[in-house]
Amino acid sequence: MQTHVIPVGFDYDRLIAPLVRDRLDVDRVVLLEGAVGSEANVEYSQHLAEKLEQDFENLLGAETDRVAVSDVYDYDAAFAQAFDLIAEELDSGGEVWVNIASMPRTVSFAFATAAHSLAVEREEDRSRIHTYYTAPEKYLETELAEELRREIDLLSDLDTGDVDDDRIAERVESARALLDEFDERGTTIGAKEIDGRHVVEIPVASFSNVKPFEELVLFTLGEHGEFASVSDLAETLASDLGEEYTDSFRSKVIYNVDRLGPGGKGYIEQEREGKSHRTRLSRIGELWVRAHEND
């Protein structure tokens, strides 16, 4: 069961388009709704939620539920709600995807933090928890602002009588088209492709410090890339350090790789191939190396 948890704000495209374009499995969708701003804002957000509910069901065949967030600015309550919701999906054996591209940041951050906390707390479920962001191709707010500037110019020229009918018709048509797009698709348009995907997944960070020898392991993986086995990694490390490659040194590397791996700090990924384990940096491991390479 692939469940997508999606806070609904004033967006449409980047809440559904990335799932279609990246061909992600979608069995169930939980749309989170909350009262944000004026009555008009609330009605507009509800309109988008209704449209999303229909399209998730009709286009993707997903079971869709709409869940209320009582106070979108109460971070603690949103975190607790997110934690329980995600944990329930995991307990039922499902995989959970949390989209944090929309809704007020308090809700998005609360759900992202809850997903991260569960990934750290429930090591065995870490691979079934995903937090992601989708960037839009363009923001309609800027186009709306530009249209308003053109309308101001038009109104200013009306005072002098230096306006022809074609110019007025052009501005009316442009404004209507922009408002239609806004009503249909929200404040953003499209889902931007980044590195071949429309989903930017946020990795899980470790709460543990990296020890000196662990640093050497990470930097070696960062420099040389993937190794076919831990033994190959150990040989390269020994060579780089000018040490003799012994069983003791190999055991030391294996121990530290285990501490840095999926069952430990999560900086290393391993894939079993026969009796060996192909070893490479995880996404958060790559980020760690990049952040510390100039220390």
Which of the listed residues 202, 227, 253 is the one where a domain comes to its end?
Answer: 202
Report the share of the chain in percent with pLDDT over 90. Answer: 36
Query: What's phi and psi for 235, nearest 5 deg?
Result: -65, -45
Q: Minimal CA–CA distance to 15: which of 109, 118, 98?
A: 98
Taking only the tens place, the pLDDT of each residue in 162-188 is 778 788 888 888 888 888 887 777 777
Distance of alpha carbon 209 from the chain centroid: 25
Taking only the tens place, the pLDDT of each residue in 38-75 is 676 778 788 888 999 999 999 899 999 998 888 888 88
Q: What is the C-alpha to C-alpha distance for residues 16 and 59, in angstroms, rounded to an integer?
A: 10
Contact (Cβ atoms closer than 8 angstroms) between residue 100 and residue 108 = yes
Q: Minimal CA–CA distance to 6: which of 56, 76, 43?
A: 56
Alpha-carbon distances of 19 from 16, 90, 167, 241, rounded to whole Å: 6, 20, 41, 46
- Judgement on whether residues 12 and 132 belong to the same structural domain of the protein: yes
Per-residue model confidence (pLDDT) at position 171 = 82
If pLDDT is split at 50, 70 and 90, which confidence band does 251 have? very high
Parent domain of 153 = 138-189
Burial bucket for residue 121 (CB in 10 Å: 0-12, 13-18, 19+):
exposed
pTM metric for this prediction: 0.72
Over the chain, what is the mean pLDDT? 87
Give domain status of residue 207, yes or no.
no
- Judgement on whether residues 27 and 89 belong to the same structural domain of the protein: yes
Which of the listed residues 202, 230, 245 is the one where a domain comes to its end?
Answer: 202
If pLDDT is split at 50, 70 and 90, which confidence band does 36 have? low
Element (H, E) at 273: strand 268-273
Per-residue model confidence (pLDDT) at position 98 = 93
- Judgement on whether residues 74 and 197 belong to the same structural domain of the protein: yes
Q: How many domains, in total, are found in the chain?
A: 3
- Judgement on whether residues 131 and 6 belong to the same structural domain of the protein: yes
Per-residue model confidence (pLDDT) at position 172 = 84
Taking only the tens place, the pLDDT of each residue in 71-89 is 888 888 888 999 999 999 9
Per-residue model confidence (pLDDT) at position 37 = 61
Per-residue model confidence (pLDDT) at position 47 = 84
